[in-house]
Amino acid sequence: MRRATARNGAGEACASGGTVPAIVATMTLPTSLRLLPAACAVACAASGCVPADADPTAGAGRAVTLAGPVRAVDSGSWRTIRGCSAGCVWSQYFWVDLAVRDEAYDKEVGILWTADDWATVHTASASYEADLGDGYERWGVDVDAGLYSDLGGGGPDDIAFAAFARMAGQTHWDPYNDHYIFRPVSEDRPVRLLASSVAIEDGAAVLAGRVRVFDFAYDKRVAVRYTTDAWTTWREVDATWVRDDDWRFRAPLAPAGALPGEVEFAVRYEAAGGQWWDNRGGANHRHALAPSFAFTAPDLDGAPLAGIVRVSATARTDLPVAGVAHRVDAGAWRAGATAVLSTEGMADGWHRVTFRARLGSDADGVDAAGSYSFAVRNRLAPLRPNWDPGAGDATWGVAVGGDGTVYLQVDGRGVVRYPPGGGETAYEPVSGRVWDLAVDGAGRVYGLENHPGYAVWRWNPDGTVDRGFGDGGRLDLGAEFAGHGFDSALAIAWGAGRLWVAGGCFRYGSRCEAGRPSVNAFDDGGALVAFTELPADAWPQALWIDGAGPGGTAWVADGAGGRLFAVRGGAVVATVDLEGEVHPRGLARAAGTWYVVDDGPSRLAAFDAGGRFIAHWLFGGTGDLPGGVDLPRHLVRWTGGELGVLDVEHGRVVRFAPLP
């Protein structure tokens, strides 16, 4: 197979010292490079022609040894980031090593290079670096190729170059042009697939791509062999020359309505009596055709789903996908690859989300479908309306008093009280950042500070800071309490006449002798009355206080191990292992049932007294549906038994009915 006439004409003219077509001759070179007629020099650099004195030979798969006054032996690139905002800006650099035969002391060595397919030609001079022996020297070129940015479309597709050396009144060219920086071909790798894709055209799937080959000889053939049935049968299509050393191919595959699973192919290059393959190291190149669907959905160890369920689908195909739609059971089709649905009102049993992908274009394409099935079992249910003060501010702490008053720690405002009859009262602000809240029977509010230190603040019922508590209203948990202290405080609760704080020492230090998490009880005046170490691998995240018995029992939720520890009298007296993988962030109990806000699949989960799973409600990561929670954190219980999950993102409490 021969190249286009204009290209061949340029190559033959250069090789024989003649003229070239005018379109090539209009390109110019710097004066120092015009020892060879300018048009011929540019034609050789831009077209990859083979000068008459070059005599390449190639065996089947053997590397070819090049001789001549100058040749490129190695190249590479790097870039330096200049800055990033919406996108990054960088300087692109590349380097080339040349082997130059030492025919004269005075030499001019360099390269011509282009980043836009020879529409613009640049010159870069090389510098002597070392003696290579056998009469050759190594010369090197470092080139700043300019500034590029993500917003400007990224860097160049490739940089092509041709090497020259001027010695003793003659200019010599590397006989095998062009060379490439990013996707080079060489004697050792003479054929390279540059790009390939599959598409739907005129109702059929087609494979197309570009190939680059090393210019061993004037006559050459590039072909693509492909199969859609794992090589039971195969076909072959010839590539056509595009420009320089690049070729392109296009192969019909199958009707769009009967797509095979994939196409597998390899590229063959024949030149100078040799044959070379690009078959991806024996694995062959592949494109997926008929899509397989991958689904992302809640994984709860096979438990039926309930709540806000989010199911996403990805059509695994290399064909272009114009759009995806979905529907639940036999409902209406909706645009999008993610279905967000509520199981409230759905019958217990199996349901299905079907996804439909449009392959190709809307006008000329084909539909492919896949479905995801899941079981529903509704036990927990959201109540309406949510408890919502309407401010929309993020909140980080919540507590509910015995009379139904709600206390919130609101971003930018501090503690705010919301009585059942309406209205609000902002409490006196404090210097620390409060993370969790508790309220005692007298209406005093406790706030757990986790920045800049670890401390507990107390407010009087009228909203003023209780300056008789701790040091001016602040009990410093960093101080020593009977030889113990905190370097982390994570949860707070009031019950059985005591203030309970979970956290402890997670590193060794002067106040962290044990280096273990703990639960600590303080009396009304802030004095430590009980210290209980928890297992070293525990991560206390929530507290629930049972007032029965002397001093009460503190139940601690382990956010790392899914355990509940019962603490009484300075010791862990019981442990409940919650079934499944559970990461509690909130804890409450009603009628012998444990409820936890689980940070794993983001849900409200119910367990019996022994930790066996009973039911759950998925929050779905959205506040747009009843029972949906964007960022769940704490769990509270009103005296009437209803549960409340703090939605940090929306500054509200999402209400749920307990199990009957």
DSSP string, 248-270: EEEEEEEEGGG--SEEEEEEEEE
Q: Do residues 365 and 450 both lie within one domain?
A: no
Q: Do residues 257 and 300 both lie within one domain?
A: no
Instruction: Please give the tally of structural domains in the chain.
Output: 5
Chosen domain end from 121, 149, 180: 180
Q: Do 167 and 69 touch, CB atoms closer than 8 A?
A: yes
Q: Do residues 241 and 313 both lie within one domain?
A: no
CATH number for the domain including 581? 2.120.10.30
The answer to whether residue 470 sits within a structural domain is yes
Chosen domain end from 142, 161, 180: 180
What is the per-residue pLDDT for 549? 65
Chosen domain end from 288, 315, 342: 288
The answer to whether residue 582 sits within a structural domain is yes
What is the per-residue pLDDT for 512? 47
Query: Distance (Å, rounded) from C-alpha 434 to C-alpha 430?
Result: 9
Query: Distance (Å, rounded) from C-alpha 359 to C-alpha 441?
Result: 64
The answer to whether residue 104 sits within a structural domain is yes
Q: Do residues 207 and 327 both lie within one domain?
A: no
Q: Do residues 313 and 168 both lie within one domain?
A: no
Q: Do residues 47 and 157 both lie within one domain?
A: no
Q: Do residues 339 and 370 both lie within one domain?
A: yes
The answer to whether residue 185 sits within a structural domain is no
What radius of gyration do the chain's Cα atoms show?
37
Query: Distance (Å, rounded) from C-alpha 184 to C-alpha 213?
Result: 9
Query: By mean pLDDT, which of 336-340, 394-398, 466-470, 501-505 is the weakest?
Result: 501-505
pTM > 0.85: no
What is the per-residue pLDDT for 60? 33
- Confidence band for 154, pLDDT divided at 50, 70 and 90: confident
* Sheet containing 338-342, strands listed edge to edge, beginning at the edge strand earlier in sequence: 292-296, 308-316, 338-342
CA atoms within 13 A on the CB side of 264: 14
CATH number for the domain including 336? 2.60.40.10
Q: Do residues 157 and 170 both lie within one domain?
A: yes
Q: Do residues 475 and 547 both lie within one domain?
A: yes
Is the predicted pLDDT of residue 461 greater than 60, yes or no?
yes
CA atoms within 13 A on the CB side of 131: 5
- Name the residue with higher pLDDT: 202 or 328: 328
CATH number for the domain including 250? 2.60.40.2440
SS3 433: strand
Note the pLDDT tens digit of each residue in 638-648. 988 999 999 99
Q: Do 594 and 565 touch, CB atoms closer than 8 A?
A: no
What is the per-residue pLDDT for 155? 84
**pLDDT > 70 fraction of the chain, expressed in percent and rounded:** 86
Q: Do residues 274 and 408 both lie within one domain?
A: no
DSSP 68-132: SSEEEEEEEEEEEEEEESSSEEEEEEEEEEEEEE---SSEEEEEEEESSTTSS-EEEE-EEEEEE
Is the predicted pLDDT of residue 114 greater than 80, yes or no?
yes
The answer to whether residue 186 sits within a structural domain is no
Closest residue by Cα to residue 308 from 656, 587, 650, 585 = 656
Is the predicted pLDDT of residue 260 greater than 80, yes or no?
yes
Note the pLDDT tens digit of each residue in 285-321. 999 999 999 999 998 888 899 999 999 999 999 999 9
Q: Which domain holds residue 35?
A: 1-52
H/E segment holding residue 25: helix 22-25
Q: Do residues 646 and 635 both lie within one domain?
A: yes
What is the per-residue pLDDT for 504? 67
Closest residue by Cα to residue 490 from 431, 450, 535 = 450
Q: Do residues 474 and 539 both lie within one domain?
A: yes
The answer to whether residue 208 sits within a structural domain is yes
SS3 171: strand
The answer to whether residue 396 sits within a structural domain is yes
